[in-house]
Structure 1
């Protein structure tokens, strides 16, 4: 099915956008749409890979997005826009948001419209923390570069490691711009902390020796980074996860940082304090989208909010944020009632008309009498004062117990295999309106990482030997390949800068 046809069949489309500069020194912007199709499958498609000349101001980015929405005829379907935390992006979203407000096309006053990239904020947090051991990181990186540059050096290093009976058999060289690679490099290097000083004795030119005290600092910092690394792995897949998975990770980060604020080491307290300042700057206010998505996970509901908000915020603020989440959730649901009740009644009427028309010739008089009886009864109900309010989908959903995942053969709960969209698909008839809201909310990407995979593929298209390709040609190649892969169910392999893993050679220790 063509992408344009798919987009016509969905009610809400979520957008991610990011900028990229090629070897042509041409700036491009990728615009990707995310939605749930009629079979409840999460879909991601590139809409545009267009040339955006500098300066990349908010007005320029907003105009590029407007053209994309107009070309694809989705102006009335835009649900959210996810962008990196850049000032130009903030300005662009404000401009587009004003356009939507004039059309009265924003849900809950536009409070869910602008989504900040979770991975980008996590990176800002970690970079502020890594500044505490930046010099040590540089020494470790330069030392590993020196060792892996020649096989003879690697052989000497491997022989020392074998004499010390170390189980680890590889060194990792990171990509400096990717902090999670740096974490893996440090996590591996610390296992060889006894090898580096001994290697310095053998190889006098090796000058990047880290002291035991510095290795202790690396170990302490890595304890914090391990939590952030797990979060990054959750949000950084090219096949992006549903939005309900983020809040449990975000509150865990804040909890770890608060614990480290009372650490006995001053450098850990300083690091945690800086990272908390960043956390509160971007997530100090209740992140409504993450919270609402978590409530729409049947495993969590409101109980997760009640559990984690007192950890993330002071008690008085936590209560206020919980009330705010519930208020926005109900307001959002009411807007879905208003928008979808007519559609559901129309669908029901079509079914009733179809079933009645097939038997009208046989039971016409009977139906007429029944209809008259129903009409008289309805008049009686309307005239009485004892009508009780009917519980909404949302009320029923929140009052029910949370969903408990099953256990595997080892009697361990299978949390990782739970699919929130599949659960809502199975319960769509029970929650006619709430399931439609859940479909739209869970499809919102809270990270632009899934879109960045397009840039990795573009490196293969705009390589130095093909640097004369016109921007329109590049767009056709990138978008076309993305659509063909989606049509045939072919997943894109992750590409781009990767860390270097160097296996230590097997050395037979010489005897003396």
Structure 2
């Protein structure tokens, strides 16, 4: 109470001083003249006039000297005709179209919400958010999530997990129909297929479509992520694949399918190819239909080599396992590193049995800390796996040998996978490295290389037609790379035979595209006749005029197709005879995109560019399908094992489509 009385007395005293100061200024302030000679009235006089004109109610006195330089005007809001009938709306936001923060998807929804709040649109946004970011359905029932949305807009209505699940299914179906319509404009596409078992021991099949659009951009779409009932035989995989293709309406557009190297996948690829062949929809006579995953082959090759030298790296693996088992051991290991002024930024890495590149990383990191292992052994009596000097020397040799394989694996395993034209040169370097190591005087390295060479010859002993043709379609490589590296991979007789096979298949595939053109009555590269020449010439099938008589029409078509074939072949020969593009590979800033080059040369090589677009879109690895399993593992975790198959497919496939569309 005392505090309140003191506060009131302070306010009374302060207000009294302000009134006295105002009266003093009013009595001493004279009338002033403006630059134009007009008299500026005093503050008190001006206030009385404005109060009498604007309102009868006496307002607050204007005591500040600044009112000598301002004039109060009558408010016009109530009488403004532009605001009549207008009501206040819910607050909305707009962003500049060139904002780097706001994506195109955000701009689209902000424009839709600009006209007012829309609960249906908000539910659609929440559904897509759950699909893209793999949130659980019950997120919409969290109290603070609803508090957040309610505070952003009081019109928001809370929804249940079942409601948002149904919304996700609806969004998935809408996106699927849009993608189906988009696929109608794609002439050819390729597939990657892989199998995966969830933590609930449920088998799933992932099917991904790959294609290059009219703007020469490489795309992939996960078109299927479904349960596969046991047994997972090759026939069962083939049936599920064909059923999926039919449901999408793309069963007549598949050029190739890429799978892992298992016997069941070989059976599946054969069954699918026979189905296409029976319907007359097997492209390129099946020369490049079944593609074996190169990343998987490379993993098998190196795994055989590491198995042959398991005794060499056993002590290093046991040492890393021992140290990483307890944090106290790692802490002591780090203290020794600091004493020796050795950075621990890399850290110790333990390998995984199924991933050879993890073994390479383990050895590489351990070599950095080899001196620390020696010091640690003197401080821990239980540590009994100290590698010898000979073990470290062998590990260094193994790392130097596996470095080329590690680099190639990184190229094969890129998330934004490269086009197929880049792999032939990498495979050639692998074979050359194996040939050198197999002649080494170091016994364990020679033994390792010989085991790896056996596996290489098993899978890549025959000519890989896709790699060769894709390399030819690279303007920086062309046929020169095939002629250069085949003698390094194969024997002299085998190299000559394989080069001849590649040329034969190249022209065979090319002629297929030429016949497609001629069947649509278009003669490529033919000079256009003038109007007078067209009128004076008889009925010519090539220009779309009617020909009387079925036999004569077929003959005219044959003549036109043979004529166009000759012209198109001359274009192919021109491309092969042109000098290859020389790039400065020592310059790290040099970047060359094969797809961009073909985009710029479509008019020059119309048929060849179409062939390049279909061939270069074929993936040589199943990495894209395996990435769907990563998403599947997050969706089907230990806490969400009861999700229905249709919900899983909607979350995995629909999420991938939206991410691809919005570049997230």
TM-score by length of 1: 0.85
Matched, 1:322 2:485: no
Other-structure match for 1:51: 227
Match for residue 623 of structure 2 among 449, 471, 478? 449
1:426 aligns with 2:603: no
Whole-angstrom CA distance in 2 between matches of 1:346 and 1:25: 56
Aligned to 1:87: 263
Contact 1:298 1:403 in 2 (8 A): yes
Residue 498 of structure 1 is matched in structure 2 by none
Shift in CA distance, 368/303, structure 1 to aligned 2, threshold 3 Å? closer
Moved more, 215-224 or 227-236: 215-224
Q: Distance in 1 between matches of 2:566 and 2:243?
A: 46
Q: Indicate if the aligned counterparts of 1:336 and 1:433 stay in contact, CA closer than 8 A.
A: yes
Q: Conserved in 2, the CA contact under 8 Å of 1:406 and 1:414?
A: no
Summarize the Cα distance change of 1:102–1:151 in structure 2 as closer, same or farther, 3 Å threshold: closer
Q: Determine the C-alpha separation between the residues in 1 that align with 2:584 and 2:449.
A: 37
Q: 1:370 to 1:58 in 2, by over 3 A?
A: closer
Provide the C-alpha distance between the structure 2 equivalents of 1:337 and 1:70, rounded to a whole number of angstroms. Answer: 28
Please give the per-residue CA displacement for 1:233-257, whole angstroms capped at 9, x wherever unaligned.
Answer: 0011222111101111111000000
Q: Distance in 2 between matches of 1:372 and 1:108?
A: 39
CA distance in 1, matches of 2:534, 2:312: 83
Partner of 1:41: 217
Match of 2:579 among 360, 380, 401: 401
Measured after TM superposition, the shift of residue 342 of structure 1 is 4.3
2:318 paired residue among 137, 142, 150: 142
Counterpart for residue 76 of structure 1: 252
Check whether the contact 1:24–1:468 (CA below 8 A) recurs between aligned residues. Answer: no
SS at match of 2:462: coil
In structure 2, the CA distance between the partners of 1:472 and 1:199, relative to structure 1 (3 Å rule), is: same
Counterparts of 2:565 and 2:348, CA distance in 1 = 69
- Cα distance in structure 2, aligned partners of 1:145 and 1:428: 56
Match among 21, 24, 28 for residue 197 of structure 2: 21
Aligned counterparts of 1:60 and 1:182: Cα–Cα separation in 2: 35
CA deviations over 1:188-229 (Å, ceiling 9, x no partner): 101212221221111111122111111222111112211111
Closer, same or farther: CA 105–414 of 1 in aligned 2, 3 Å: farther
Distance change >3 Å, CA 272–CA 136, structure 1 → 2: closer
Q: Deviations over 1:300-333 (max 9, x none)?
A: 0011011111111111111111111111101110
* Cα separation, 2, equivalents of 1:341 and 1:437: 15
Which residue matches 1:510? none
> 4+ residue stretches of structure 1 with deviation over 3 A?
135-139, 148-152, 162-169, 341-344, 346-349, 367-376, 387-391
RMSD (Å) for aligned C-alpha atoms: 2.6
Do 2:511 and 2:565's aligned partners in 1 also have CA atoms closer than 8 Å? Answer: no
Write the distance in 1 (CA, Å) between the matches of 2:271 and 2:255. Answer: 15
Superposed, 1:4-15 pairs within 5 Å as 4-15=180-191
Change (3 A) 1:269 1:406: closer
Larger Rg, first or second structure (1 or 2): 2
1:291 matches 2:468: yes
Residues 99, 166 of structure 1: CA spacing in aligned structure 2 closer, same or farther, 3 A cutoff? same
State the SS of the aligned residue for 1:10. Answer: coil
Contact 1:28–1:51 under 8 Å retained in 2? yes
Query: CA–CA distance in 2 between the matches of 1:333 and 1:347?
Result: 13
Q: 2:438 touches 2:445 (CA, 8 Å); kept in 1? A: yes
- Counterpart-to-counterpart distance in 1, 2:646 and 2:414: 28
Query: Matched residues in 2 for 1:116 and 1:148: separation?
Result: 37
Does the 8 Å contact 2:477/2:580 carry over to 1? yes
Counterpart selection for 1:107 from 273, 279, 283: 283
The offset of 1:413, in angstroms, is 6.7
> Aligned ranges for residues 56-455 of structure 1 at < 5 Å?
56-167=232-343, 169=345, 170-343=347-520, 345=522, 369-372=532-535, 390=567, 391-405=569-583, 412=587, 414=589, 417-455=591-629
SS of equivalent to 1:466: coil
In structure 1, what is the Cα distance between the partners aligned to 2:269 and 2:324? 46
| Distance apart, 1:99 and its partner CA | 1.1
How many angstroms apart in 2 are the aligned matches of 1:267 and 1:344? 64
Contact 1:133–1:218 (CA<8 Å) still a contact in 2? no
Q: 2:470, 2:521 → 1: CA distance? A: 23
Partners in 2 of 1:343 and 1:413 — Cα distance? 46
Give the TM-score of the pair, scaled to structure 2. 0.66
CA contact (8 A) 1:6 1:37 kept: no
Gaps of 5+ in 2: 1-174, 540-558
Q: Tell me if structure 2 keeps the 8 A contact 1:236–1:450.
A: no
**CA gap 1:201/1:87 in 2 versus in 1, 3 angstroms:** same
Assess if the C-alpha contact under 8 Å between 2:334 and 2:344 holds in 1.
no
How far apart, in 1, do the equivalents of 2:655 and 2:523 lie?
A: 39
Question: 1:55 aligns to what SS in structure 2?
Answer: coil
CA contact (8 A) 2:312 2:394 kept: no
